[in-house]
Amino acid sequence: MKNIDSGNHTKGQSVYLDDIPLVAGTLFGAVFSSPVAHGHIEQLYLAEAAQHPGVVRIFTHQDITGENQIGGIIPDEPLLAEHEVDFCGMPIAFVVAMSDEAARAAVKKIKVDITPLPVITDPRVAHAQSKLIVPPRTFRLGNTELAWEQCEYVFEGTADTNGQEHLYIETQCAYAIPQENGELKIYSSTQSPTAGQRTAARVLGVPMHQLEVDVIRLGGGFGGKEDQANAWVALCALAAHHLRRPVKYVLHRLEDMAMTGKRHPYSSDFKIGLDKDLKIVAYEVDFYQNAGAAADLSPAIMERTLFHTTSTYFIPNVRATAFSCRTHLPPNTAFRGFGGPQAKFVMESAIATAAEKLGIDACLIQKKNLNQTGDEFPFGQKAVSEAQACWHKAEELYDVEKLRQEVDAFNATSTLYKKGLALMPICFGISFTNTSMNQARALVHVYYDGSVRVSTGAVEMGQGVNTKMLQVAAQTLSISPAKVRVQTTSTNRIANTSPSAASATADLNGKAVQLACQAIIKRLKEVAAQVLQAPETAIELQDEQVLLNGQETELDWKKLVTAAFLKRVSLSEHAHYATPDVHFDKATEKGHPFAYHVYGTAITTVTVDCVRGTYQVDAVRVVHDFGRSMNPAVDRGQIEGGIVQGIGWMTLEELLYDSAGRLRSNTLSTYKIPDIYSVPKEIAIEPLQTEQDNLAIFRSKAVGEPPFMYGIGTYFALRNAIKAFNPNSPIAFDAPMTPEKVLLGLYPQSATGTQHVHEQSLRHVAAS
Amino acid sequence: MLKFILNNNEVSTDLPAGTVLLDYVRYNQHLPGTKIGCREGDCGACTVLVGELAGDQVRYRSFTSCLTPLGNVQGKHVVTVEGINMEQLNPIQQAMVDESATQCGFCTPGFVVSLAGFCLSGKKPTAQNAVAAVDGNICRCTGYKSIERAAARVAQLLEAGEGQDPATYVAEQQILPEYFTSIKSRLRALAVDTSPNGHVLSGTLQFVGGGTDLYVQKHDQMRELATRFLFNQADLQGIVRQENRCVIGGAATVSDLAESAVMQEFFPAFRPFLRLVSSTPIRNMATVAGNFVNASPIGDLTIMFLALDAQLVLSDGHTAREIPLRQFYLGYKVLEKAPQENVTAIWFELPDAASCFHFEKVSKRTHLDIASVNSACCFTVQDGFIVKAGISAGGVGPVPMLLPKASEYLIGKEVSEGLIQKALEIAQTEISPISDVRGTETYKRLLLNQLIKAHFLALFPRLNARELLRRLSC
């Protein structure tokens, strides 16, 4: 089944927030944000801006009727700066005007005196100054101290990954519309309607029942509209609350890029020990997470990093410590993979280090250490593993030996181009690691004409979750998908939702839909049994027919529904689902936090242009653990999109902050995401169909985040190609592998350090 | 009063001619299918088609409406996604749906409109050309493979129509709505003065060509500025040959250059390099002269034409004068041009059989990106000896520059690995790159060397590549 929105999407008829017809009297907001990354606000000059034609009011922290606080996990983030600014782009004032242009023109007239304070952009510097968001955490398995002695080889190193801008094509936005009795209906482009509602209620100082957050769909999210969507909801709500007029704010791209947090950059130190058979005996790692100026979701992301320390491998002795470091960048946040990809990059860097030092192919180490069912993760859960199955199937199906020979043969004869190949196994845990969030609700109405509406806490952002919800309802009720509509995600219909995140949205909400539909079916069967005067066990509902002992009866779906209504039987159900079996004890750092893991293996081949330092990904060939996909078209799209986004993170996408904490790659002309020409020439996806039961909806395993990590293979394939040209290249483990890093890897320059972040001298940064 | 056809309706507006088409379409005409992604022409979510009479046909090109002033569509046909919708999904839309080429959907109308532009373009119906039509559209969800598959299907739709008038064919085949066949006569009937310049208000005059840089850099001010629109000015159009000169009109776009019959006949080596310049919609809008006047140190066309030793004709409306492009740049964004002057024409000598031209560009992303370093060269070679040489380089100084010393050094010499090494050494003394968002100084110095080597490897295949790569590489 195709994505149910796809027809409207292609006609331009799908409604996004900025397409909602304006309510008469709507005002427009725009944020004035801090021009410096850290300092004391001495004086804020609003008078000139307030005089600008069309300006209705300018809001500052003094206008906040509740609490000036939007921190979700930790209350450390004011909505509007009071006396100190902590990052460049931190909101200070919110201008509301009769038009969008007037609001933006007035913002330009606001001035502020700020006494600068020292700026930290490097997580290691923050760590050295003990500026941590939360206390560090350590996961342990076995005893690394004792294990080093058993190792034939021990290697140490450093690995760095840069952040990543979400670059959803629809920017952040919110639209608050006053209702009667002081209530507000707030449209938001958010992955987390409840978080928006809770945050706005806190800022306004009103109970949550006074606010509705309603989400039609998102023009992309990827994690960037989880907690990062809250500020705009709160600002529009605050202004609408004061003015009793509708207030809308759609961020410009520049504002969005400057003000919102991104994927966390990490800098990590690793130590790996292997025995003479290349079994990894011990692994130690210290993760320095660049959290930015406030916690946002950083502690949860740090936790998921720790959960993915060993990637797809079993290592008997592990010590992993993570530090969430407070810097003066915008608060970094969720992004597809949520800290997992960063951990996997370090693990693969450690393996690559060992392989390069030993003069062997990294695949030999990778393959030897893949986890197996029953192996213990450092956090205590036992693996139910498809790692070996995926790897072996990929090796055979795509004939890795032949691919490798082709690469070697090409490299032996080619001077101007070199090829590289790398394998990337993945293992990704599904569930919110905060156990309490693994719950969801669904509301199913069957109308007496037989049509059905479904509401869930799931937010549609292109991942096809509404399509899957519709499928669950149609399949469970055994009716045509055409009879089912999925409603917008509203906190009025579904309360206390978890965000659409962690790849778990379809599982959690789908299970809730299934439970609701099953309850309705149960009642309908009771009615059918009465009407047909037969035992319930003899009755089945199938394809909109009521079957008695497998035979059609006079009852069909519509007649049965009508009969049930006339008998005063409820045709609606609100169901609740909580993932069974998951638990985690932070005191011991042990438990069973994941419902299941998703596995896979990718084989990546690349070609590097050794004159120019540019490159092409020739192919990414994958064997992916789908369980049993309930929608292969949607899931294939998630895999292709995830791979390309992962490749973007590993190659082109380079966030550049200068030492003053200002984002320099702040436009689409300076921050490059993949275009149609920069994607792999070939992406092959082979399902690993498994039949064993799991906790996924219809056994269709979560697919949102795991494929992102196949992109890491591209980094190592590029590295291998560079080494084929220059075996002595000292290239560091420092993603992304931009064409600059490739060229400097091919031809190491003796002069300046080539791996340092650019120190900006912007006399003529040509934005043009 | 501006007049044009919007989808199937003749429209007129009193809005300032500097208003961007995107805002007009979305907020004045309430056609929300055209999306706002970046407002700098870098995402394609706001792509529309602009059709104008060209001989006996209506020629459609894709534009990013965020950078298009209303003044530039005066008297033309503007097509948004709403203008290509039919009762059922049209076959382009159906191909996108069938291939699951849409996820969040926000970029999708832009892709659909670009593919409709391909259907109307008369270009050869190959999958490659269909993909090229969406080279200005960014999608963050799909990874593009499904879009490639959909584009290939769209190309197949057109195979039977090769050689026919595209607008007629797509209407007959119900690929696009029937009304497209009426546009030619309606545009003729509209018959407005396509140059919307009325009385120019006082204040500094702002010339606007395609607007692709001005609307990025001065977006907020453009609506209110005293603007002189050049894009549609009749005397600035066209690319012609005069004796051995190629003369490019002051409003000729990069696409005009790519499609120019003169260039294709007399300088076919040039066209392939234009694929490295921005994207299809930007090439459709951006003028060659605008690229020069914008004075970006890494303007691709500027770098190409520096090597070709192009000459500019400047006019203040009364007096015209000529100046070599090589003397046009006095400092960072400082031009040898009076504020009231605009470029009316550009000319250069078409290369003869003994001459060869080459262009190199490296950017983070190969397409739709601004160069870290770019370079062009034009050599005349007789009996193995270089008799004339021009090497230009961008991104390595405050202005787009010719490397006069390195170029001069080559003259009278036979091409060899050693000669190139010496030229590179000289080139390094002529440049002053800085570290910025497009790369460190170290990188840019190395990269320029590599690009110059690439010129020679491309033009003189007998050179020993291994030997050349080794030289001056660290």
- Asked if B441's CB is within 8 angstroms of A683's CB, the reply is no
Quick: pLDDT tens for A725-755.
999 999 999 999 999 999 999 999 975 443 3
> What pLDDT score does B474 carry?
53
Mutate which of A3, A8, A9 to test chain B, going by most B C-beta atoms within 10 A? A9
DSSP state of B206: E
Task: Please tell me the distance from the alpha carbon of residue B305 to that of residue A226, in angstroms, as a whole number.
Answer: 49
Cβ-in-10-Å burial (0-12, 13-18, 19+) of A676 comes to buried
Cβ-in-10-Å burial (0-12, 13-18, 19+) of B447 comes to buried
What is the least distance, in Å, from the CA of B262 to any CA of chain A?
29
Please give the CATH topology (third level) of the domain spanning A25-118+172-250: Aldehyde Oxidoreductase; domain 3 (3.90.1170)
Mean pLDDT across the stretch B273-280? 97
**How many residues are recorded in chain B?**
474
Say which CATH superfamily domain B2-190 falls into.
Beta-grasp domain (3.10.20.30)
Q: Tell whether B311 lies on the interface with A, counting CB pairs under 8 A.
A: no
Quick: pLDDT tens for B218-255.
888 888 888 899 999 999 999 999 999 999 999 999 99
Mean pLDDT across the stretch A428-453? 97
Mean pLDDT across the stretch B147-173? 95
Task: Please tell me the distance from the alpha carbon of residue B286 to that of residue B272, in angstroms, as a whole number.
Answer: 17
- Asked if A3's CB is within 8 angstroms of B102's CB, the reply is yes
- Asked if B103's CB is within 8 angstroms of A3's CB, the reply is yes
Q: Is the dihedral of CA A394, A398, A401, A403 positive or negative?
A: negative
pTM of the model: 0.97
Residues 190..229 of A with a Cβ closer than 8 Å to B: which?
217-222
Q: Which of B30, B103, B220 sits opposite A637 (nearest CB)?
A: B103
pLDDT tier, B472 (very low <50, low <70, confident <90, very high otherwise): low
Establish whether the linkage from the previous residue to A736 is cis, with ω within 30° of 0: yes
Mean pLDDT across the stretch A16-42? 98
What is the least distance, in Å, from the CA of B409 to any CA of chain A?
23
Task: Please tell me the distance from the alpha carbon of residue A142 to that of residue A316, in angstroms, as a whole number.
Answer: 6
> What pLDDT score does A752 carry?
47
Per-residue pLDDT at A763 exceeds 60: no
- Asked if A642's CB is within 8 angstroms of B435's CB, the reply is no
pLDDT tier, A691 (very low <50, low <70, confident <90, very high otherwise): confident
Q: Which of B35, B109, B142 sits opposite A641 (nearest CB)?
A: B142
Task: Please tell me the distance from the alpha carbon of residue B381 to that of residue A756, in angstroms, as a whole number.
Answer: 43
DSSP state of B69: B
Residues of A in contact with B217 (CB under 8 A): 767-768
Same fold, A25-118+172-250 and A439-578: no
Q: Which of B108, B294, B474 sits opposite A768 (nearest CB)?
A: B294
Contacts of B9 (CB under 8 A, 6+ apart): none
Quick: pLDDT tens for B174-185.
999 999 999 999
Distance of CA A428 to the CA centre of its chain: 13
- Cα nearest neighbour of B453 on chain A: A611
Per-residue pLDDT at A251 exceeds 50: yes
Q: Tell whether B7 lies on the interface with A, counting CB pairs under 8 A.
A: no
Pairing state of beta strands B47-54 and B57-64?
Answer: antiparallel
Helix axis angle for A632-650 and A712-725, nearest 10°, is 50
Quick: pLDDT tens for B72-121.
999 999 999 999 999 999 999 999 999 999 999 999 999 999 999 999 99
Residues of A in contact with B131 (CB under 8 A): 676
Cβ-in-10-Å burial (0-12, 13-18, 19+) of B456 comes to buried
Q: Tell whether A739 lies on the interface with B, counting CB pairs under 8 A.
A: yes
Residues B449/B372, Cβ–Cβ less than 8 Å: no
Up-side HSE of residue B110: CA atoms within 13 Å toward CB?
Answer: 30
| Residue of A405, A501, A520 lying closest to A454 (CA atoms) | A520
Residues B53/A237, Cβ–Cβ less than 8 Å: no
Task: Find out if CATH 3.40.50.720 is the number for domain A439-578.
Answer: no
pLDDT tier, B199 (very low <50, low <70, confident <90, very high otherwise): low
Task: Please tell me the distance from the alpha carbon of residue A645 to that of residue A647, in angstroms, as a whole number.
Answer: 5
> What pLDDT score does B470 carry?
86
Q: Is A705 noted as a catalytic residue in this protein?
A: yes
Tokens representing residue A70 in the block: 């939007």
pLDDT tier, A757 (very low <50, low <70, confident <90, very high otherwise): very low
> What pLDDT score does B201 carry?
52
> What pLDDT score does B203 carry?
63
> What pLDDT score does B410 carry?
98
> What pLDDT score does A692 carry?
84
Residues 429..488 of A with a Cβ closer than 8 Å to B: which?
461-464
- Asked if A766's CB is within 8 angstroms of B473's CB, the reply is no
Quick: pLDDT tens for A266-301.
999 999 999 999 999 999 999 999 999 999 999 999
H or E element that contains B361: strand B355-362
Whole-complex ipTM: 0.97
Task: Please tell me the distance from the alpha carbon of residue A294 to that of residue A71, in angstroms, as a whole number.
Answer: 8
Residues A268/A158, Cβ–Cβ less than 8 Å: yes
| Residue given tokens 């509602």 in the structure block | A197
* Helix, strand, or coil (residue A616): strand
Task: Please tell me the distance from the alpha carbon of residue B94 to that of residue B80, in angstroms, as a whole number.
Answer: 17
Residues 221..260 of B with a Cβ closer than 8 Å to A: which?
none
Q: Tell whether A7 lies on the interface with B, counting CB pairs under 8 A.
A: yes
What is the least distance, in Å, from the CA of B437 to any CA of chain A?
7
Phi, psi of B28 (to 5 degrees): -95, -40
Per-residue pLDDT at A72 exceeds 70: yes
> What pLDDT score does B194 carry?
62
Contacts of A359 (CB under 8 A, 6+ apart): none
> What pLDDT score does B205 carry?
82
> What pLDDT score does A586 carry?
97
Mean pLDDT across the stretch A581-609? 98
Contacts of A270 (CB under 8 A, 6+ apart): A156, A157, A158, A159, A283, A284, A285, A286, A346, A347, A349, A350, A353
Q: Tell whether A748 lies on the interface with B, counting CB pairs under 8 A.
A: yes
| Residue-wise DSSP of A349-383 | HHHHHHHHHHTS-HHHHHHHTB--TTPBPTTSPBP
Q: Which of B43, B134, B362 sits opposite A169 (nearest CB)?
A: B43
CB neighbour burial string for B42-67, b if at least 16 within 10 angstroms, e if fewer:
bbbbbbbbbbbbeeebbbbbbbbbbb
Residues B183/B59, Cβ–Cβ less than 8 Å: no
Quick: pLDDT tens for A658-667.
999 999 999 9
* Helix, strand, or coil (residue A290): strand
Count the Cβ atoms, other than its own, within 10 Å of residue B183. Answer: 22
Q: Is the dihedral of CA A385, A386, A391, A395 positive or negative?
A: positive
B234-470: CATH architecture? 2-Layer Sandwich (3.30)
Residues B143/B121, Cβ–Cβ less than 8 Å: no
What are the sequence ranges of the domains in chain A?
Answer: 25-118+172-250, 266-432+588-746, 439-578
Quick: pLDDT tens for B337-392.
999 999 999 999 999 999 999 999 999 999 999 999 999 999 999 998 999 999 99
Task: Please tell me the distance from the alpha carbon of residue B362 to that of residue B352, in angstroms, as a whole number.
Answer: 28
Quick: pLDDT tens for B36-78.
999 999 999 999 999 999 989 999 999 999 999 999 999 999 9
Mean pLDDT across the stretch A40-66? 98
Active-site residue identified among A101, A691, A705, A759: A705
What are the sequence ranges of the domains in chain B?
Answer: 2-190, 234-470
- Asked if A169's CB is within 8 angstroms of B100's CB, the reply is no
Q: Which residues on adjacent β-strands are paired with residue B457?
A: none
DSSP state of A1: -
Q: Which of A19, A675, A766 sits opposite B370 (nearest CB)?
A: A766
- Integer-rounded Cα Rg, in Å, for chain A is 27
H or E element that contains B391: strand B385-394
CATH class (in words) of the domain with range A266-432+588-746: alpha beta
Pairing state of beta strands A484-486 and A452-456?
Answer: parallel
Q: Which of A7, A637, A673 sits opposite B89 (nearest CB)?
A: A7
Mean pLDDT across the stretch B274-283? 97
Tokens representing residue B44 in the block: 């394609």
SS (H, E, C) A468-503: HHHHHHHHHHCCCHHHEEECCEECCCCCCCCCCCCC
| Residue of B52, B104, B412 lying closest to B255 (CA atoms) | B52
Up-side HSE of residue A285: CA atoms within 13 Å toward CB?
Answer: 36
Phi, psi of A224 (to 5 degrees): -75, -15
Q: Measured in Å, how far apart are chain B's first and last C-alpha atoms?
A: 62
- Asked if B112's CB is within 8 angstroms of A169's CB, the reply is no
What is the least distance, in Å, from the CA of A196 to any CA of chain B?
21
- Asked if B103's CB is within 8 angstroms of A683's CB, the reply is no
Output the average pLDDT for chain A: 96
Residues 70..109 of B with a Cβ closer than 8 Å to A: which?
80-82, 85, 89, 92-93, 96-98, 100, 102-109
> What pLDDT score does B200 carry?
53
Quick: pLDDT tens for B417-439.
999 999 999 999 999 999 999 99
Residues A227/A263, Cβ–Cβ less than 8 Å: no
